[in-house]
Structure 1
């Protein structure tokens, strides 16, 4: 039978979010109902509310979530009732051209639930990133559920569902940071600081955090940065070169998503270095740089989408490392809040006063 729970929706562009009853249908053959235990507040949810993704209102917000599988469809074999899972928005299909070429992290046909969750009056909801987890329960495809060690704190494990994985993967998967590398991270919010943490995990010898906010630079130091640069007071490119023997960094992660910071990243790398863009630009942004500089510097220019992760490979690995005390994922949880506090948490995201607010149910 369908069931009614409380969920946080965005009804219209720029309107405050609302906590309302929503209806969870019976799962389809490959769908599961997950009882949400925790869900991080990500900037992407703010963008949904503000109409920056698309106009398919109303949205059921929330996507960085962990919880317990409660009900499964008739053909589900990937998870079972009672499993502790982190939700993901890259449930790879295994059949598209990216998957068949051995690059499933680029999957072009990821799975979502076969049915829509609705408002009480039957209006279909669009779940954020196909998840919609600012709710007591949510409906997803079975492959959107990744089993991890149930000893993990749901508020911590759930953050791998988006921002933390994006930053970690930008450094480890996309950037290929390795032992002894020099790394610079421009922009030290949640995603950038996760890249700092990933660079430390990979064995980088020098990790340079760049931001204009002293508080964010302190966060970065706590997560493994060996040096910090206040971008408001010095030339970033020169400062990175000064800290890397005059050469520039082997890998530069740009976690802001603006033309001026991307240009800094480009010139702050070594001649054969790698730039990874993980910050999300807006459609109107343009880059004007000499083409000859792209030709003459070599190296690689990459973009990281979800940190080029494979949830089934990466989520359990990072949860295990956290439980072993080798990956301080818990430091990203700035505050724990209730479902009714999401709008205030969005304000904190805009103000940059938190790494992550986490809704705990």
Structure 2
């Protein structure tokens, strides 16, 4: 058993606390990871606000990189000393998606069996099965993806959630390729990652849409060729004007609201693709759209789960591109903070001043 500091949300809407938690030694199929860095993602705030479920208390944090300290019986995929990025898609290998050769859609991903606890024995619910705002965490070995140990933990750990979601929404789900036109609605961390992914894939026209001028500036730095401030103009008309009156080949909704999804639907070209990667709340419904428009415009309406990534395939490849200077993951790290600063980072997130705050633990 290991006693370490961790960031816990005890109840809905209350400030997080840094407390001592108990982390078990790894059992069969599990790995103990010494966390080096973990990004502050909007999903962590959703957990604190009760927007995911009500299984409090939560051990927050999930965009993480670190070093494997110990493994349980039968673990062969990683070993002590391996530098890994943690993921929340530990594929099972035997569900209907895995058996048809599509493990990126695995329907039975798994987590550690043992529970981390508070000092009094209260079981913790780790965010996305990870719980990495902690000096050490216990995960399923399949949640550890070995990557180049020379990579900067604060940067590559972001592939564990938001940056991978955006990159994958463009490359994997949207099938963005050379010369295609892309519009991204919402330029927070995920949206800007979708822009970076579109640039990496060779898209010709990349249009960033947001109501915040600072976010549009960040989008330009990451590869946007045009920006649209939708506070001032109709984004659908603006996207059409920038694409010869046709609309974009791929429109990515990184906000996840009925209004932005409807904008994405009408801002795409005939036979174009809409990708929903922003996460809606349970009460939101698809806006009223004439069914003839759905039929007549053709194309695809997709949602993107975790950027439709396969960690074992995508993480090492993207880290290699980062090490080659072809994917600027460092640009997503706005600030490095301590474990005591998570609540303040949530406040800065609301203000739109950061792409990512990253907790550095060593």
Question: Match for residue 335 of structure 1?
Answer: 335
Shift of 1:114: 1.2
Question: Take 2:350 and 2:308, find their aligned partners in 1: how far apart are those partners?
Answer: 26
Runs of 4+ in 1 over 6 A off after TM superposition: none
1:64-103 alignment, distance < 5 Å: 64-103=63-102
Question: Take 2:5 and 2:235, find their aligned partners in 1: how far apart are those partners?
Answer: 47
Question: Match for residue 194 of structure 2?
Answer: 195
Question: Match for residue 110 of structure 1?
Answer: 109
Shift of 1:65: 0.2
SS of aligned partner of 1:65: strand
Question: Take 1:284 and 1:141, find their aligned partners in 2: how far apart are those partners?
Answer: 32
SS of aligned partner of 1:51: coil
Question: Match for residue 326 of structure 2?
Answer: 326
Question: Take 2:241 and 2:265, find their aligned partners in 1: how far apart are those partners?
Answer: 16
SS of aligned partner of 1:197: helix
- Whether 1:272 and 2:271 are equivalent positions in the alignment is yes
Question: Match for residue 283 of structure 2?
Answer: 284
Deviations 1:98-148 (A, max 9, x none): 111111111111121010000001110000000000000000011100000
1:102-251 alignment, distance < 5 Å: 102-251=101-250
User: What count of residue pairs does the alignment treat as equivalent?
Assistant: 360
TM-score in terms of structure 2 length: 0.99
1:27-42 alignment, distance < 5 Å: 27-42=26-41
Question: Match for residue 352 of structure 1?
Answer: 352
SS of aligned partner of 2:347: helix
Question: Take 1:114 and 1:18, find their aligned partners in 2: how far apart are those partners?
Answer: 25
Question: Take 1:161 and 1:151, find their aligned partners in 2: how far apart are those partners?
Answer: 17
SS of aligned partner of 2:275: strand
Deviations 1:229-266 (A, max 9, x none): 01011111111111101110000000000111111101
Which runs of no fewer than 5 residues in structure 1 stay unpaired? none
SS of aligned partner of 1:34: strand
Shift of 1:59: 0.4
Shift of 1:284: 1.0
Which runs of no fewer than 5 residues in structure 2 stay unpaired? none
Shift of 1:152: 0.4
Shift of 1:149: 0.2
Question: Match for residue 54 of structure 1?
Answer: 53
TM-score in terms of structure 1 length: 0.99
